[in-house]
Amino acid sequence: MEFQLKQCQAATEKTGTVIVAVSGKELSPSARELDAASDGQIAHALKGAGFEGKPGQIQMFYALPGIAAEQVLVVGTGELKELDSRGLQRAAAAAVKALAKAPRKAVSFLAELDVKGLDLNERIGDIVRASLEGSYRFDEFKSRKSPAKGLEQLTVAVPDKAAASAGKKALAWGQAVARGINRARDLGNQPPNICHPTYVAEQAKLLGKTHDKTLDVKVLGEADMKKLGMGAFLAVSHGSEQEGKLVIMEYKGGKKSEAPVVLVGKGITFDTGGISLKPGAGMDEMKYDMCGAAAVLGVMAALAESGLPVNVVGVMACAENMPSGRATRPGDIVTTLSGQTVEILNTDAEGRLVLCDALTYISRYKPAVVIDIATLTGACVVALGKVVSGLFTPSDDLAAELLEAGQRSGDRTWRMPVLADYQEALDSPFADIANISTAGPGGGAITAACFLARFTKDYTWAHLDIAGVAWNSGANKSATGRPVPLLMQYLKQRVEC
Ligand code: BES
Ligand code: MN
Ligand code: ZN
């Protein structure tokens, strides 16, 4: 899909579709203009159709008198005073989805909406981003692809020429973020027989080749990790025929002297649970257990495309968690790269094992901030559902920045405690630490974060548990690409201040 910005009028614009909003009962300025030009046809028909302007609700009008466009698409946003970034994106995505089989060109008048906390450029960025997200499809493995080609060109209408030229950067930003999101979704949706650790590493290398001036990619295999002493990581990858890989991507967009932000993603390309085998129902969804790593790759792609002036190191800790004769047993004790020993009581708590060694490894970068991203616990889904990700950090400042980035990007997060009182639950009679709480399942997302906290004392750190938000289940199951938007917004905020 191609994007452009243009100053234009809804009633006279010759195009396939004009997209306008209705917020609750209130017609947007352009919707009112269309209504006036068509002698009140829009308001009249909306009333008849019982259209209430609810978020994402849509109504199409064909060949209205007095209107130059072939058709008009009205999209609901919910009450205007409650409209935020998330709501604007929902409307833009719903519009694009509704136009999959329509004329190939459309002009969107959604940027005129008054959205809480967003200026015009941010609204442009959100519309572009959501439109690209809304047109995402994953049909690589379908013999018969959908014949609908989708929108070819979307013009975002702006009030004047100055806004059109000022908005170009926002447009490019929205595009870069959306491509990063869709890239993360592609990786997440790949089946686990194809998307194994080596495949993920190859994807990173390809990305590095495309952006060889700003992106360096390095891959450590199991022999390298053994030499380093990454006993916890290897305890997970050992049971699999697929070799575990630690993928390191260095994006150099900022000053040489500037300490990097380090992102560490959990990349379990399939999580059977290992010897602590998971129940069979829905186990296929554990192909998404690499969505933390996919988000890191998506962020690196978006950074390279946007050229954001920051230094970021992206690390993907990739392994497959399988039961086999070589697999780790419950009761095994391993030595982590940090020197701390871990008694592995449950091989299904594998994410923290690959992450703890990766988190120790990256201290060599003397990071300004470290954020790990992981589909870490079912307990986080129980606590927060699929709306917000779990944010765990001892730093109030970092928490505030990430919470703000979540609000502004519509990819929200919610702070959870990492109090010392929870640490006792991880005591082991035999090793320095157990890999699961011995006090039962209560607070499972927190005790998982507390495990990681023992390996992140040398720097400012946050952990995002994305087990709930990384994919949608059910008939239309698919990776969401979250939290690429949150992380990109956070990095942008760092540059702006
Ligand atoms: N990948 C899972 C967490 C998960 C579960 C994500 C369901 C999304 C949906 C993780 O490796 C895991 O198995 N965690 C265990 C930890 C437990 C053994 C302490 C869990 O959540 O049950
Ligand atoms: Mn597991
Ligand atoms: Zn897992």
Same domain, 140 and 205: no
Same domain, 263 and 348: yes
Tens of pLDDT, residue by residue over 74-107, are 999 999 999 999 999 999 999 999 998 878 899 9
Same domain, 415 and 286: yes
Please give the pLDDT value at position 22: 97
Catalytic option among 352, 482, 492, 494: 352
Across 203-331, where does the E strand assignment appear? 215-220, 245-252, 261-271, 311-321
Please give the pLDDT value at position 146: 82
- Contact of 80 with 23, CB cutoff 8 Å: yes
Q: Is 123 a catalytic residue?
A: no
Q: Is 292 a domain residue?
A: yes
Output the CA 393–ligand 2 centroid distance in Å. 22
Same domain, 42 and 189: no
Please give the pLDDT value at position 101: 85
Residue 317 has pLDDT above 80, yes or no: yes
Mean pLDDT of the region 401-415 = 97
Compute φ and ψ for 85, nearest 5 degrees: -50, -45
Mean pLDDT of the region 204-216 = 98
Output the CA 298–ligand 1 centroid distance in Å. 23
Q: Is 478 a domain residue?
A: yes
Same domain, 291 and 346: yes
Q: Is 205 a catalytic residue?
A: no
Please give the C-alpha separations between residue 459 and each of 254, 371, 481, in angstroms, as whole numbers: 20, 10, 27
Number of domains the chain contains: 2
Ligand 1 atom closest to Cα of 468?
Answer: 8
Q: Is 108 a domain residue?
A: yes
Tens of pLDDT, residue by residue over 120-130, are 999 999 999 99
Same domain, 185 and 100: no
Same domain, 126 and 248: no
pLDDT band at 145 (very low <50, low <70, confident <90, very high): confident
Q: Is 122 a domain residue?
A: yes
**176/250 Cα distance (integer angstroms):** 18
Same domain, 68 and 200: no
Q: Whose Cα sits closest to atom 17 in ligand 1?
A: 349
Please give the pLDDT value at position 149: 79
As a residue count, the chain comes to 497
Same domain, 152 and 225: no
Same domain, 135 and 280: no
- Domain ends where: 106, 123, 158? 158
- Domain ends where: 158, 189, 207? 158
CATH value at residue 45: 3.40.220.10
Q: Is 249 a domain residue?
A: yes
Tens of pLDDT, residue by residue over 328-346, are 999 999 999 999 999 999 9
Q: Whose Cα sits closest to atom 16 in ligand 1?
A: 349
**88/225 Cα distance (integer angstroms):** 46
Residue 28 has pLDDT above 90, yes or no: yes
Give the chain's mean pLDDT. Answer: 97
Residue 148 has pLDDT above 80, yes or no: no
Q: Is 171 a domain residue?
A: no
Please give the pLDDT value at position 446: 98
CATH value at residue 232: 3.40.630.10
Residue 147 has pLDDT above 80, yes or no: no
Output the CA 441–ligand 2 centroid distance in Å. 14
**Domain encompassing residue 325:** 179-496
Q: Which residues surround ligand 1 with Cβ inside 6 Å?
A: 271, 289, 346, 348-351, 375-379, 381, 436, 444, 467
Mean pLDDT of the region 134-155 = 91
Q: Which ligand is nearest to the CA of 283?
A: 1
Same domain, 148 and 32: yes
Tens of pLDDT, residue by residue over 150-201, are 899 999 999 999 999 999 999 999 999 999 999 999 999 999 999 999 999 9
Same domain, 186 and 137: no
- Both tokens of residue 125? 């960025």
